[in-house]
Chain A
Amino acid sequence: GAGVSQTPSNKVTEKGKYVELRCDPISGHTALYWYRQSLGQGPEFLIYFQGTGAADDSGLPNDRFFAVRPEGSVSTLKIQRTERGDSAVYLCASSLGGLESEGNTIYFGEGSWLTVV
């Protein structure tokens, strides 16, 4: 696609439910990132994929959060047993590869706004 696409754009769920957020990166981009942005804060890193594998998942807050990218393209962020504190905008981004290449830019989607009630 032309840009990074995220679905759903908004999701309201009840505490304790399971949620999946989908990210479709720019075609050909091997690197994919998930960030979480709470109200009034900057984005916080969750996980980074290079191809199909998670190169860095150090930002995942706990074992309720999991992400996959089985074919090296679309990624799904999965949140189990949601809590009210999980309410935030979840941003996905992609890039051609590492930042070592000048001009290599990380492109962000518009995010999925998750509200846990």
Chain B
Amino acid sequence: AQTVTQSQPEMSVQEAETVTLSCTYDTSESDYYLFWYKQPPSRQMILVIRQEAYKQQNATENRFSVNFQKAAKSFSLKISDSQLGDAAMYFCAYTVDYGGSQGNLIFGKGTKLSVKP
């Protein structure tokens, strides 16, 4: 069975500094997608960044970037120049790519990020 593990229940970062959130996953599939979602207190899950497993290049979205290590089944999120608005729960998620149809999203337990002014 596919699983997603986030080993850091809580993390803290100083405003303007850089923080890295860890995620590992377990799968026997070769084609899949990985995501990082942000969930503020409003409860709405917001997509931060996505990575296709067949792409070797790490995805980047402005201050957010990932370190995707397929062999190690690792998918960490780096937030640069942290801002107060980055404070939230961050969830790593995985889904299988069935070559045109998708599987359901499997989420980790989340990491609560605090940003100190």
Contacts and interface: CB of A to CB of B under 8 A. Distances in A.
A110 B101 contact: no
A33 B104 contact: yes
A11 to B, nearest CB: 14
Interface string A103-117: 001111111010000
Contacts of B47: 105-107
Interface residues of A, number: 28
Interface of B: 4, 33, 37, 42-47, 50, 52, 91, 93, 95, 97, 99-110
A57 to B, nearest CB: 10
B44 A59 contact: no
Contacts, number: 60
22 contacts: A35-B105, A40-B109, A41-B109, A42-B4, A42-B91, A42-B109, A43-B105, A45-B104, A45-B105, A45-B106, A56-B103, A91-B43, A99-B95, A99-B97, A100-B102, A105-B50, A106-B47, A107-B47, A108-B44, A108-B45, A111-B44, A113-B43
Contacts of B101: 55, 98, 100
Nearest to A111: B43
Nearest to B106: A45
A48 B104 contact: yes
A98 B102 contact: yes
Given A43-B91, A99-B33, A100-B99, A93 B104 contact: no
**Top 4 A-B residue pairs of the complex, sorted by shortest distance between their CB atoms:** A42-B107, A45-B104, A108-B45, A99-B102
A110 B43 contact: yes
Nearest to A95: B102
Nearest to A100: B100
A45 B106 CA distance: 7
Contact of A93 (B45, B50, B52, B108): B45
Contacts of A33: 104-105
A105 B100 CA distance: 15
A11 B33 CA distance: 34
